[in-house]
Amino acid sequence: MRSIDPTSEADDIGAFVPGQRFRIEGRAGGPLSGLTFAAKDLFDVAGHPTGGGNHDWAKTHPVPTRHAWAVQTLLDAGASLIGKTITDEISLGILGENPFDGTPVNPCAPGRVPGGSSSGSAAAVAAGICDTALGTDTGGSVRVPASFCGLYGIRPTHRRLDLSGMMSQAPTSDTTGWFARDAETFARVSAVMLGEAIPDELPNRLIVAIDAFAFADPETAAALEPLVARLGALLGEIRQEAMAPPGLAAWARAQRTIQPYEAWQTFQEWIDRANPRFAFQVARNLVLGGMMPASERAWAGLVREEARGRMRQLLSPGTILCLPTTPFPAPLRAQPLSGLDPLRDRITVLCAHGGLTGVPQVTIPGATVEGLPVGLSVLGARGSDATLIAVARAMAEG
């Protein structure tokens, strides 16, 4: 990891939106006093434009006059905000390459993408520029950059947190998440964001999602084995089972029907009014999202119900499941679309269950493939967010 002075205003990894490095002090005496954070450019910060990673979004929307709930919550808890970080355009991306604001350096894997869409937040935390950072996760946008940048990251239970002041993409999948470099900071921030103490008690049963491990690159699955063994030892009982009996690809197809269609619904009025500029790949997603046939959407809705039932059945109290966060570490930057499209497709196969079922997921660093970080994820029943944080903390202590 590169060493960067966190008190410096310098941002030599390009994590921040140009011109959006500033400081808003947190409330004195709060539980997060002394910590610094950054906010992905999808979160409103009063007096600063919300850019959404697209130069035409800020031009066609008013500057916010109040902070997003997540920003206000961290400030109230004493953390100080140091700026707004680069995101994939309107959060429609999983790799973190942005032609408008630039692509942040991945401090743990130079020459590789940082992952997205919360690319700048992950890069800033990984580089030590701030202690934590807000991201959003609709289809993997916290989990993927956390995995690629060697960080802790959470996608909370869907609808658990207040998303006011956060730019929406696909409302039935959108969540607010956050990153940290170390488990202790991660737990402190999580207790504030979740409004719940992180428990000492751990779950006692671990399911290893064999379908997800089989889908990952063999090198990645092998690299995660020691973490899985440690997790099993911590929890006691361990068993192997498929997470998605109809196939991870079927779940991913359903999510990739629901999410792009919702994204089109979200942005349609703006697009009609402003004819905004997008990178081709983003515009293509929107066009195809708008073309989803009703029959496909109806099928996807049923798959979603079935997947939610599967999660309820699998994740009984005291049980958590683990899987590789991403099927491989960060790909090389600046590849052609034809090289990246199949990689994107594979990443979303391991992330789709999040938006599809709404269960919380925490990704834990600690493994590498040829020196490149890759994360192990734990997920549990809806509402078990704090328990997953406890697991991450226990793994670090172990």
Which stretches of the chain bind its own copies, using CB under 8 A? 56, 97, 99-100, 271-273, 275-281, 283-284, 286-288, 336-338
> Omega before 117 cis (within 30°)?
yes
Kindly tell me which of 23 and 277 has the beta carbon lying closer to its own copies: 277
Kindly tell me which of 340 and 356 has the beta carbon lying closer to its own copies: 340
Kindly tell me which of 11 and 56 has the beta carbon lying closer to its own copies: 56
Candidates 392, 389, 377; CA nearest to 243 is 377
> Which listed residue (141, 147, 173, 384) is catalytic?
141
State the nearest-atom distance from the C-beta of 91 to its own copies, in Å.
Answer: 16
Given a contact cutoff of 8 angstroms between Cβ atoms, the answer to whether 260 and 285 are in contact is yes
State the nearest-atom distance from the C-beta of 225 to its own copies, in Å.
Answer: 36
Does residue 384 carry a catalytic annotation? no
State the nearest-atom distance from the C-beta of 274 to its own copies, in Å.
Answer: 8
74 phi and psi angles, rounded to 5 deg? -70, -40
Given a contact cutoff of 8 angstroms between Cβ atoms, the answer to whether 1 and 107 are in contact is yes
Does residue 117 carry a catalytic annotation? yes
> 124: which 2 tokens?
């800033």
Does residue 84 carry a catalytic annotation? no
Q: DSSP character for 398?
A: -
In whole angstroms, what is the distance from residue 111 CA to residue 105 CA? 8
> Which listed residue (117, 121, 190, 384) is catalytic?
117
State the nearest-atom distance from the C-beta of 282 to its own copies, in Å.
Answer: 8
Lay out the sheet containing 176-180: strands in order across.
16-24, 80-85, 36-40, 132-136, 176-180, 152-155, 361-369, 372-379, 319-324, 205-209, 237-241
Kindly tell me which of 5 and 269 has the beta carbon lying closer to its own copies: 269
Q: Which residues are catalytic?
A: 40, 117, 141
